[in-house]
Amino acid sequence: MRFHYFLVKTLLFFLPGLIFVGSSFWRWNSLISITDSIVCLDRQCWVVELALNPRQWQEGLMGREKLNSDQGMLFIFPRAAKYSFWMKNVTFPLDIVWISEDKKVVDWVLGAKPCLENFCPSFKPRFRVRYVLEVPSGYLREDFLINNPKVFFLISP
């Protein structure tokens, strides 16, 4: 709990300064901006695009050429359920992490392979979830996820 409080306090204190410095010295595609949302599993964080409605949930990361190692997509659903995902028209492997309503990692698939065929397998969690995080494959390990990392969201409006 102390780490979570420290992380929130640190982000809220330093984020405006980073944004100001970033806007002054870095190019337009700097590390973070005021409109970015962030998801952290313990100390591992990603700047995420949000999927908030049925069209965004269906499209997901389809058709993208790649994601940087610090980028991902967070799907936010209105209620907890067993949401299944597939890799249709996704061109790079992903790690998929299902997160419960109380922000606990409850299931995952590491290294989900791209699928450019008509029929693609789907991946479904064992438990009901409200959030799903997709990040480039290779940056998460099963032993890390088994230890129930703390989940933290910083969602921009």
CB atoms within 10 A of CB 89: 16
Please say whether the beta carbons of 108 and 145 come within 8 A.
yes
Report if pTM > 0.85. Answer: no
Given a cut of 70, is residue 96 above it in pLDDT? yes
Given a cut of 60, is residue 34 above it in pLDDT? no
Q: In the chain, where does the domain assigned CATH 2.60.120.1140 lie?
A: 39-154
CA-to-CA separations, 45 to 40, 55, 127, in angstroms, rounded: 4, 26, 24
Tens of pLDDT along 37-93? 999 999 999 999 999 999 999 999 998 888 999 999 999 999 999 999 999 999 999
Amino acid at 40: C
Please say whether the beta carbons of 134 and 93 come within 8 A.
no
Instruction: Tell me which CATH homologous superfamily contains domain 39-154.
Output: Protein of unknown function DUF192 (2.60.120.1140)
